[in-house]
Amino acid sequence: MTLIKSISGIRGTIGGNVGDNLTPIDAVKFASAYGSWIKEQRDKEYYKVVVGRDARISGEMIQNLVMNTLVGLGIHVVDLGLSTTPTVEIAVPMEHADGGIILTASHNPKQWNALKLLNAKGEFLNGVEGAKILKLAESDAITFADVDSLGKITKNQAYIDLHIDEVLDLPLVNAKAIEAANFKVVVDGVNSTGGIAIPLLLERLGVHPVKLYCEPNGHFPHNPEPLKEHLTDLSKAVVKEHADFGIVVDPDVDRLAFIDEKGDMFGEEYTLVACADYVLSQTPGNTVSNMSSTRALRDVTQKHGGVYEASAVGEVNVVELMKKNNAIIGGEGNGGIIYPESHYGRDALVGVALFLSLLAEKKMNVSELRASYPNYYMSKKKIQLTPKLDVDTILDQMESRYQNENLTTVDGVKIDFSNSWVHLRKSNTEPIIRIYTEAPSQDEANDLADKIISEIKAIANI
Q: How confident is the model at residue 382 (pLDDT cuts 50, 70, 90)?
A: confident
CB 297 within 8 A of CB 278: no
Range 16-43 average pLDDT = 95
Residues 295, 313: Cα–Cα separation, whole Å: 15
So what's the pLDDT on residue 386? 74
- From residue 89, alpha-carbon distances to 95, 253, 409 in Å are 10, 12, 31
Range 134-148 average pLDDT = 93
So what's the pLDDT on residue 1? 47
Question: What single-letter DSSP state applies at residue 98?
Answer: S
- Show me where the domains of the chain are located: 3-157, 163-371, 377-460
Q: Comparing 127 with 350, which gets the higher pLDDT? A: 350
What ranges in 241-365 are assigned the alpha helix state H? 269-282, 296-303, 315-324, 348-362
**pLDDT, tens digit, 9 for 90 and up, residues 165-191:** 999 999 999 999 999 999 999 999 999
**pLDDT, tens digit, 9 for 90 and up, residues 241-274:** 999 999 999 999 999 999 999 999 999 999 999 9
* pLDDT higher than threshold 90 for residue 154: yes
Angle between helices 194-204 and 159-168 (to 10 degrees): 40
The DSSP secondary structure of 114-171, one letter per residue, reads EEEEE-TTS-B--HHHHHHHHHHHTSS------GGG---EEE---HHHHHHHHHHTST
So what's the pLDDT on residue 431? 58
So what's the pLDDT on residue 459? 87
Question: Picking from 142-156, 202-216, 432-446, which range would have the lowest pLDDT averaged per residue?
Answer: 432-446
CB 248 within 8 A of CB 198: no
CB 66 within 8 A of CB 27: yes
Classify domain 377-460 at the CATH topology level: TATA-Binding Protein (3.30.310)
**Pick the catalytic residue: 106, 192, 311, 379?**
106
Q: What is the maximum alpha-carbon separation in the chain? A: 67
Q: How confident is the model at residue 428 (pLDDT cuts 50, 70, 90)?
A: low
* pLDDT higher than threshold 50 for residue 211: yes
- From residue 17, alpha-carbon distances to 13, 26, 31, 236 in Å are 10, 10, 18, 42
**Percentage with pLDDT > 70 across the chain:** 97
**pLDDT, tens digit, 9 for 90 and up, residues 95-117:** 999 999 999 999 889 999 999 99
Classify domain 3-157 at the CATH topology level: Alpha-D-Glucose-1,6-Bisphosphate; Chain A, domain 3 (3.40.120)
Range 407-433 average pLDDT = 86
So what's the pLDDT on residue 7? 62
6 is catalytic: no
Range 115-139 average pLDDT = 93
Range 402-415 average pLDDT = 94
* pLDDT higher than threshold 60 for residue 360: yes
* pLDDT higher than threshold 60 for residue 429: no
CB 335 within 8 A of CB 274: no
For the chain, give the mean pLDDT: 94
Q: Which CATH number fits domain 163-371: 3.40.120.10, 3.40.605.10, 1.10.287.3510, 3.10.50.40?
A: 3.40.120.10
Q: Which of 284, 279, 244 is nearest to 263 (CA)?
A: 244
Residues 20, 445: Cα–Cα separation, whole Å: 38
So what's the pLDDT on residue 396? 93
Range 133-141 average pLDDT = 90
Domains 3-157 and 163-371 agree in fold: yes
* pLDDT higher than threshold 60 for residue 460: yes
Torsion over CA: 201, 205, 207, 208 (sign): positive
So what's the pLDDT on residue 430? 56
So what's the pLDDT on residue 52? 98
> Model-level pTM?
0.94
* pLDDT higher than threshold 60 for residue 365: yes
Question: Picking from 30-39, 64-73, 105-114, 233-242, which range would have the lowest pLDDT averaged per residue?
Answer: 105-114
Q: How confident is the model at residue 433 (pLDDT cuts 50, 70, 90)?
A: confident
